[in-house]
Structure 1
Amino acid sequence: MDDDDLPRRRDDILAALAKQPLDPLSLAELDDRIATLAGEIERVKAHRAAATSHKAIAESLFKKG
């Protein structure tokens, strides 16, 4: 069984990240966090675009017509 087939945990890393207090972080640490999150957003967008492209290709191959 692939990991993709498993149900997502409710206590995943995104939920934990959203719960972390920001008050203890310095301005530099906040800037680093923003840069890291922005990089992760771009990585996810690129993966989503590739998945959308793959889906469209697969659908065109199996399209009845």
Structure 2
Amino acid sequence: MTNSDEDLPRPTKKLLLPPPLDLLGVDELNAYIADLEAEILRVRQAIAAKAAHRDAAAAFFRTPPQT
């Protein structure tokens, strides 16, 4: 028997809670941008690694062409 909750889409999580920008100064805002850019780079690297693993698995399990 399956759980009906398993069939429902998972709610998206908000991973980053943005700070109230009105309370930050210019230097703090620039530092916040730098932190966000570093996080974006880290996420893009993780995506590239996952895509490479997926592509390698797809190539491994691909059926050879008929001759």
- How does the TM-score come out when normalised to structure 1? 0.72
Over the aligned positions, Cα root-mean-square deviation in angstroms equals 1.8
Q: How many residues matched?
A: 56
Q: Between Structure 1 and Structure 2, whose CA radius of gyration is higher?
A: 2
* CA deviation map 1:32-52 (0-9, x unaligned): 100000000000111111111
What is the deviation of 1:31? 0.7
Q: Can you give the 5+ residue segments of structure 1 that lack an aligned partner in the other structure?
A: 1-6
SS of aligned partner of 1:13: coil
Point out the structure with the larger helix share: 1
What is the deviation of 1:8? 5.4
**CA–CA distance in structure 2, aligned partners of residues 55 and 46 of structure 1:** 14
Give the aligned partner of residue 62 of structure 1.
61
Q: Can you give the 5+ residue segments of structure 2 that lack an aligned partner in the other structure?
A: 1-8
Runs of 4+ off more than 6 Å? none
